[in-house]
Amino acid sequence: MNYKELCDELVRILNLDLPPVGVKFLKNEEIGAFQHYKSDVNYTFCQFIMRAQEGEQLLANGDNIACANGASALGFRPIPDKLKTGEFFEKLGSFEKEAGRTVMEALPRFELNRYAAIAVSQVANADFEPDVISIQGTPEHLMWLTLSVLHHEGGRLTFSTAISNGCCVDITVIPQLEQRLNVSLGCYGCRNATSIPDEHLLAGFPGHKLESIVNSLRSLEEKTIPRTREKKAYNRLINS
């Protein structure tokens, strides 16, 4: 699969402003091949994604992820007690203490030490096959992305979020654990720590689904997408 060419086509059809980012989950024995990736940083995981969108190639691990919530969700550190009990969220003001506790209890996460590091790069520049691909865009962009999955698979989709861990869990852990597309509204953390515009949402999907998604987008591009973007039905209404 030519990930760069397929991602270029995905960007073109969806008309994305920002490039897709790929992540690769690494075991200890795989880290050596990524020594040229930058790791002497102190970023939240959402900042890793943002910096990768800007062109950096990064290696995230338990020592350089600045957010304890994200680092523990990614399996790099034990869950701090203040997160487990909800005390952290109560102090932050995002949840009542008991609600915060249940949010942490229900949070999908990697088990501790499942991976040793995560390589993060624009898909166009990546020298790896991405396990997960993340996208940032408008609701309209992600509507077509979602339809591209349904176009092939049918059924209905359900998205999972707690407005916490938007980048690290919603569009990274969940697509990897459940092998499916997930769309996120983001969270108070990533909207505080990154340049994400207010109107943007986030999505992540397994990298192996890219070819199927782009094939569906090609079909949608023939008629459905242009007709909808032209707003023909609306224009008939206002011009009648």
Q: Into how many domains does the chain fold?
A: 1
In a domain, 178, yes or no: yes
In a domain, 53, yes or no: yes
Tens of pLDDT, residues 41-58: 999 999 999 999 999 999
Its pTM stands at: 0.95
Question: Does the pLDDT value for residue 152 go beyond 90?
Answer: no
What is the domain range of residue 189? Answer: 3-228
Rounded percentage of the chain residues whose pLDDT exceeds 90: 96
Take residue 150 and report the two structure tokens written for it: 């349904």
In a domain, 233, yes or no: no
Tokens 């190639």 belong to which residue? Answer: 57
* Interval 197-214 mean pLDDT: 98
Residue 59: strand pairing partners: 119
Pairs from 220-227 (Cβ < 8 Å, separation ≥ 24): 220/13, 220/144, 220/147, 220/148, 220/151, 221/13, 224/147, 225/13, 225/144
How far apart are alpha carbons 232 and 88 in whole angstroms? 50
In a domain, 240, yes or no: no
Tens of pLDDT, residues 89-142: 999 899 999 999 999 999 999 999 999 999 999 999 999 999 999 999 999 999
pLDDT of residue 240: 79
Q: Is 197 left (phi over 0), alpha (psi -120 to 50) or beta?
A: beta
